Chains A and B, each alone.
Chain A
Amino acid sequence: AQSVTQPDIHITVSEGASLELRCNYSYGATPYLFWYVQSPGQGLQLLLKYFSGDTLVQGIKGFEAEFKRSQSSFNLRKPSVHWSDAAEYFCAVFNQAGTALIFGKGTTLSVSS
């Protein structure tokens, strides 16, 4: 069965420092991968997605992610973190039937000044 693992439950990064959030997936074929962000008390917002083609995808708010098939990973990166980036981040993949998204358990990002 498809699954998504986000190894880091909580990460703290200094403002202005770079960020990398890890995501590993289990999927037989080419996966459809997503990153979502959730600010406190809010719903989820799509940051970026990967379906095929260029393995480096750009998203909103200066985020990017790289698909690495050999490592079954889709890590999210940002070169310089802002305090407003503090939120919970979810990686997701479509299930094998293609009927719904499966989410990881999330990584909470804290930004220190």
Chain B
Amino acid sequence: NAGVTQTPKFRVLKTGQSMTLLCAQDMNHEYMYWYRQDPGMGLRLIHYSVGEGTTAKGEVPDGYNVSRLKKQNFLLGLESAAPSQTSVYFCASSYDSGQGRNYGYTFGSGTRLTVV
């Protein structure tokens, strides 16, 4: 059982380049999320999805786009990378919105992105 798989694990981009980060989960979870983690800060939500075909903005959506064409996949796109987007990106999934008592997110192993 792979859980949540992110690709790639590392990437270096030049300013202005574009790329797509892929997140795949095999747990049949409805909810999927993209976060970024920067030193000294908590995880910040970029975009999320509550089901196939739906996406919504999180706390820091500017400069990113997402798509959820299939339930198991959630893609994060950077159209024109900027140095401020240098970060560690985590994808996560969950069964529901968190109403259950044993609620928890399953995270992928992260993508370390450097924009130069």
The answer to whether A and B assemble together is no
